[in-house]
Amino acid sequence: MRLVVALSAFFSVITSSFPSLVFGFNPDPCQFPAIFNFGDSNSDTGGLSAAFGQAPPPNGETYFHAPAGRYSDGRLVIDFIAESFGLPHLNAFLDSVGSNFSHGANFATAASTIRPQNRTLSQGGVSPFSLNVQFYQFNDFHHRSQAARTQGVVWQKLMPKEEDFSRALYTFDIGQNDLTAGYFINMSTSQVRAYVPDLLDQFSTIIKDIYGEGGRSFWIHNTGPVGCLPYIMDQLLITAPQVDKAGCATPFNEVAQYFNIRLKEAVNQLRKDLPLAAITYVDVYSVKYDLISQASNHGFEQPLVACCGHGGKYNYNRHMGCGSKVTRNGKQILVGRSCQDPSVRINWDGVHYTEAANKWIFDRIVDGSYSDPPVPLKMACQRVAN
């Protein structure tokens, strides 16, 4: 409701005063020749798999019919974004076998954070490919891809052109793991909130660095309602047992919303600091929360229960994750899909969304209804006059 009002207010102000200025002088849809994506598992298309071993089956079964580096039964929001521009799905930068980067690259890896963390994966920590490392990789990719293009025709067909770096769409979906990282080392909510400004400072630095490399169009997802995900409710609800009407853990969603408020402020500041950039903030939180809290109205079932997992209230056990093999009484069991029909389920493995949910989310954000400014995806290169 609030959004609809804000939207119509925006359009009536703009269109009544200077209709042609909404998108500058050129109202044509953007022709993005490439997409460069940064983030965590919400948009990982093979990075963590390339570095630490493939996501096991049944991941990928719905669409790819085999594991495809994604933590989902099928496509992610970033895949639908690429498809909407007629571009191929993004290969992971870290995937050195068979990759074609002519239309972009994906620097996201599952379990990534904005800030470098002090605990490695083997210590129960997160991905070593934090956002600053993803930027180092992007910077290296930018320069070395251009050197490679001078080495022959095949390289010209595998690497983006120099001018594509300023014409590309830069997409971001990161922050969730920074928030949960604090809780997993037993920090209180106030301790987690206290480091949120530092997260946004580091995030803004990376956006400026990419702008310095020629990036101009930025599409930034805020962070989702992490308190509605089984891996959080299963592990952390004991320490903070408040749940809302949807059954989601309130303190964790409040921290996510606090992060999002600060992210929106950081984006506003970036628009002032980067005069040639078109930066769109996308309220993915509201879309995901609407999907989960109104699941049956949207044609989905059991929003808080994982489709692939094992045991408990949420069909989730962190020691028996989706696709893992566990030995019970000398017998090996594969933790597979336990739901009948993933197309009516939201949660795939306790941490990630199903393809059906990702498609639903994409369909809501693509037209700009959840964007600030209310710019559709295909107009994300147009800096809105302010």
Which residues of this protein are in contact with ligand NAG, per CB under 6 A?
88, 100, 102-103, 115, 117-118, 154, 157-158, 185-186
| Rounded least distance, CB 186 to ligand NAG, Å | 4
What CA–CA distance (Å, rounded) separates 358 from 74?
A: 9
Q: Given the complex with ligand NAG, which of 88 and 376 has the nearer CB atom? A: 88
Give backbone dihedrals phi and psi of 280, rounded to 5 degrees, phi first: -110, 125
Q: Given the complex with ligand NAG, which of 115 and 378 has the nearer CB atom? A: 115
Residue pair 333/326 in contact by the 8 Å Cβ criterion: yes
Residue pair 247/187 in contact by the 8 Å Cβ criterion: no
Max CA-CA distance within the chain?
A: 74
| Rounded least distance, CB 153 to ligand NAG, Å | 9
Cα dihedral 176, 178, 180, 181 sign: positive
- Choosing from 44, 352, 371, 372, the catalytic residue is 352
What CA–CA distance (Å, rounded) separates 131 from 303?
A: 30
Q: Given the complex with ligand NAG, which of 118 and 386 has the nearer CB atom? A: 118
Pinpoint the alpha helices (H) of 67-151: 77-84, 131-149
- Choosing from 164, 349, 371, 372, the catalytic residue is 349
Q: Return the C-alpha torsion angle 93, 77, 274, 130, nearest 10.
A: -50
Q: Given the complex with ligand NAG, which of 115 and 142 has the nearer CB atom? A: 115
| Rounded least distance, CB 134 to ligand NAG, Å | 16
Q: Given the complex with ligand NAG, which of 78 and 357 has the nearer CB atom? A: 78
Contacts of 41 (CB under 8 A, 6+ apart): 48, 71, 108, 109, 110, 111, 112, 351, 352
| Rounded least distance, CB 53 to ligand NAG, Å | 24
Q: Is 41 a catalytic residue?
A: yes
Q: Is 352 a catalytic residue?
A: yes
- Choosing from 41, 43, 112, 286, the catalytic residue is 41
What CA–CA distance (Å, rounded) separates 199 from 78?
A: 23
- For residue 325, the cross-strand partners are 334
Q: Is 200 left (phi over 0), alpha (psi -120 to 50) or beta?
A: alpha
Q: Given the complex with ligand NAG, which of 186 and 327 has the nearer CB atom? A: 186
| Rounded least distance, CB 218 to ligand NAG, Å | 24
| Rounded least distance, CB 40 to ligand NAG, Å | 15
Q: Which residues form the catalytic set?
A: 41, 349, 352
